[in-house]
Amino acid sequence: MVPTNFYITLSAILFATGAMGVLVRRNPLIIFMSVELMLNAANLAFVAFASQHGSLDGQIFVFFVMTVAAAEVAVGLALIVQIFKSKHSINVDEVNSLKG
Amino acid sequence: MPQLNLSDFYTLLPAFVLTGWASMLLVLDLFIPRGSKGLTAFLAAVGLGLTLGITLVQAGSSSLGFNGMVVLDGFSVFLNALLLVSGLLGIALAYGYVRRMGLERGEYYTLMLFSVVGMMLMVQAADLIVVFIALELLSIPLYVLAAFNNRSPESEEAGLKYFLLGAFSTGFVVYGIALVFGAAGSTSLYGIVAAAASGAPTLLLSIGAALILVGFGFKVAAVPFHMWTPDVYQGAPTAVTAFMSSGAKIAGFAALLRVFAVAFPSLTADLTPVLAALAALTMIVGNLIAVSQNNIKRLLAYSSIAHAGYILMAFVPYGNPQVMPVSVAAGLFYLVAYAVTNFGAWGVVIALEKEDGKGLEISDYAGLFWKNRPLAIAMTIFLLSLIGFPPTIGMVGKFYLFRAVIDGGFVWLAIVGVLTSLVSAYYYLRVVVTMFMQEGEPQAASEFWLNFTWGLTALVTVIVSFVPQLLFEWASNAVLRLF
């Protein structure tokens, strides 16, 4: 059996990749994919810990995370489409009318 | 097999009623003609009022529901009532504003109700699963509301920024919960504290708690997680900003306090210095950047960041059982003071706002005193309350806060608080001076519910400062259920 540590290390790497992606990428769609990567890193950790503890709580949490992520996608994509309609671009560097 | 019975439903009754009401309103709104969406607002307010009644009936009871997933205690009743009142004030502010700005659509009120449900659930959450669900339930409607003015690029931009950073912070919360679950083997707050007492790995638990703190730091706009706040508060329709700057902050702090006080008392040594540093940094940065703002919405946004720092002070002594009850009461009192003052100040901003984002510079307030005395006096009261100047509720709130922090042994933090309040006097008084001493022709909108809101909050701000004992006693009775 693969030790839990391996899973947690992999999930930490995925989480860090996602967080870096959010910070460096300029396209909201890619940023959003990076956020999904962070959530899925957490899901991996949940499942690994759930099997280690022999408790189902972690696996149930994963279902909640997936459902909520889907709800977030619905709102997020709608916002991005709306912005694309008015600006014909979704580069976050060009969405910059608010500053100071 | 665990059984559900009626008492489980009683613990969450306000949230159930409001959810049902909001869902019904969503359907009913389809049959309300376009021009009379005021009816939707009225029905939404009735729903909030009904829920407020149920919440007040629950006062004094203390129980766990749904196998320890949610909790009903004095703390939750107090904050639920505050959140529902915030919702009512939010509707009162929005009623005329959305009509004037041409944004009148029925979904506005329904989304607000759903967001309030999320906030109430957050206050009652006793399990990290529920904390997470509630966090999303309160945030997702707010993303939509921030982008509600879809003719304005600023509003869309605010929605996108809020959404991306909100989703980012959710990632931190979820990963933090995963690590805490890994360390403790349970997501229940009471299970976590039991596991920590019987030797769960402290390092994993600390990292998890720190990640949760980062996530909530984004939600309550604590420095260094505040970058989104000024942009979102400026771009979002003002009535939405008023609602989210109070409601989301109250719910975020409530969840933070319950999670930390109930689940992580064993991590005090690690987390207290972090919280103290966050509070000090938030007060300093928020107040210093506010000095250079010329737009009233941005000014109030930085002011709200600074106030997140003051409220965070109440959390710093959370691990000290002698001081904790007093500091929680001081924190709750300050949340009430902040919510009341904040709604009033945003109400004045709404009164002076014109279409297309005009009327929002501080220079647009010139001569307000000579054109509209009640409005200028009300604004002065709110700004004095935000500084913490007598005779206002903000002064009393700061007094209780500083006293609690000094009792907890953090004298330096209280000194930082006083010094940053002095700095804040500069930029708040600049607005007052503009209103009284400069010449100008400001035109204020006069709508019944808007005038009612700023008038009422101004009265409360002053009157409560003379009889603060009553409110403080309520706050002191609003204890957390710790086991």
Segment B278-290, tens digit of pLDDT: 999 999 999 999 9
A70 touches chain B (CB under 8 A): no
Interface contact flag, A57 B129, Cβ < 8 Å? yes
B167 touches chain A (CB under 8 A): yes
For chain A, how far is it from start to end, CA to CA, in angstroms?
Answer: 55
Interface contact flag, B160 A28, Cβ < 8 Å? yes
CA-to-CA dists, residue A20 to A16, A26, B226, B368, angstroms: 6, 12, 18, 48
Interface contact flag, A79 B170, Cβ < 8 Å? no
Average pLDDT score over residue span B162-177: 95
Q: Which two tokens stand for residue B469?
A: 């004992």
B295 touches chain A (CB under 8 A): yes
Nearest-angstrom CA–CA distance, A98 and B153: 10
Q: Which of B147, B168, B179 sits opposite A45 (nearest CB)?
A: B179
B159 touches chain A (CB under 8 A): yes
A27 touches chain B (CB under 8 A): no
Predicted confidence at residue B70, as pLDDT, reads 93
Nearest CA in chain A to B301: A100
Predicted confidence at residue B1, as pLDDT, reads 57
Predicted confidence at residue B483, as pLDDT, reads 57
Q: Cis before residue A28, ω within 30 degrees of 0?
A: no
Q: What are B127's strand-pairing partners?
A: B188
Along the 100 residues of chain A, how does pLDDT read in single tens digits?
788 899 999 999 999 999 999 999 989 899 999 999 999 999 999 999 999 999 888 999 999 999 999 999 999 999 999 888 888 877 777 777 776 5
Interface contact flag, B181 A49, Cβ < 8 Å? yes
Residue B130 banded pLDDT, cuts 50, 70, 90: very high
Predicted confidence at residue B118, as pLDDT, reads 96
Which ipTM value was assigned to this complex? Answer: 0.95
Q: Which domains does chain A have, with CATH numbers?
A: 4-87 (1.10.287.3510)
**Distance (Å) from the alpha carbon of B81 to chain A's nearest alpha carbon:** 27
Interface contact flag, B140 A71, Cβ < 8 Å? yes
Sort residue B108 into left (φ over 0), alpha (ψ -120 to 50) or beta. Answer: alpha
A10 touches chain B (CB under 8 A): no
Cβ-based contacts of B294 with chain A (< 8 Å)? 100
pTM of the model as a whole: 0.95
Q: Exposed, middle or buried, A10 (CB in 10 Å: 0-12/13-18/19+)? A: middle
Cβ-based contacts of A88 with chain B (< 8 Å)? none
Q: Which two tokens stand for residue B348?
A: 């004045």
B114 touches chain A (CB under 8 A): no
Predicted confidence at residue B477, as pLDDT, reads 85
Predicted confidence at residue A94, as pLDDT, reads 75
Cβ-based contacts of A71 with chain B (< 8 Å)? 136, 140
Which has the minimum average pLDDT: B82-91, B195-204, B241-250?
Answer: B195-204
Question: What are the tens digits of pLDDT across the range B22-33?
Answer: 999 999 999 999
Cβ-based contacts of A83 with chain B (< 8 Å)? 153, 156-157, 160
Nearest-angstrom CA–CA distance, B111 and B109: 5
Residue B236 banded pLDDT, cuts 50, 70, 90: very high
Q: Which two tokens stand for residue A41?
A: 């890193």
Helix (H, G, I), strand (E, B) or coil at B67: coil
Average pLDDT score over residue span B107-135: 95
Number of separate helices (H) and strands (E) present in chain A: 3, 0
**pLDDT at B51 > cutoff 90:** yes
Residue B325 banded pLDDT, cuts 50, 70, 90: confident
Per the CB < 8 A criterion, the answer to whether B221 and B165 are in contact is no
Nearest CA in chain A to B146: A79
DSSP string, B377-437: HHHHHHHHHHHT-SSSHHHHHHHHHHHHHHHTT-HHHHHHHHHHHHHHHHHHHHHHHHHHH
Nearest-angstrom CA–CA distance, B115 and B145: 10
Q: Which of B321, B309, B284 has its CA nearest to residue B407?
A: B321
Q: Which of B167, B170, B175 sits opposite A45 (nearest CB)?
A: B175
Q: Which two tokens stand for residue A31?
A: 């940023």
Cβ-based contacts of B164 with chain A (< 8 Å)? 22, 28, 31-32, 35, 76, 92
**Distance (Å) from the alpha carbon of A49 to chain B's nearest alpha carbon:** 5
**Distance (Å) from the alpha carbon of A26 to chain B's nearest alpha carbon:** 12
**Distance (Å) from the alpha carbon of A9 to chain B's nearest alpha carbon:** 12
Average pLDDT, chain B: 92
B177 touches chain A (CB under 8 A): yes
The percent of residues above 70 in pLDDT, for chain B, comes to 99
- Taken as a whole, chain B contains a residue count of 483
Interface contact flag, A41 B175, Cβ < 8 Å? yes
**pLDDT at B251 > cutoff 90:** yes
Interface contact flag, A75 B295, Cβ < 8 Å? no
- Contacts for B369 with CB less than 8 Å, ≥ 6 apart: B376, B377, B435, B436
Interface contact flag, A42 B171, Cβ < 8 Å? yes
**Distance (Å) from the alpha carbon of B98 to chain A's nearest alpha carbon:** 20
**Distance (Å) from the alpha carbon of B160 to chain A's nearest alpha carbon:** 6
Interface contact flag, B164 A19, Cβ < 8 Å? no
Interface contact flag, A35 B298, Cβ < 8 Å? no
Cβ-based contacts of A94 with chain B (< 8 Å)? none
Nearest-angstrom CA–CA distance, B100 and B107: 17
- Taken as a whole, chain A contains a residue count of 100
Interface contact flag, B293 A100, Cβ < 8 Å? yes
Helix (H, G, I), strand (E, B) or coil at A92: coil
Q: What are A67's strand-pairing partners?
A: none
What DSSP designation does A40 have? H
Interface contact flag, A35 B160, Cβ < 8 Å? no
Residue B76 banded pLDDT, cuts 50, 70, 90: very high
Tracing tokens 């003609």 back to the chain, one arrives at B33
A94 touches chain B (CB under 8 A): no
Per the CB < 8 A criterion, the answer to whether B356 and B332 are in contact is no
Per the CB < 8 A criterion, the answer to whether B126 and B70 are in contact is yes
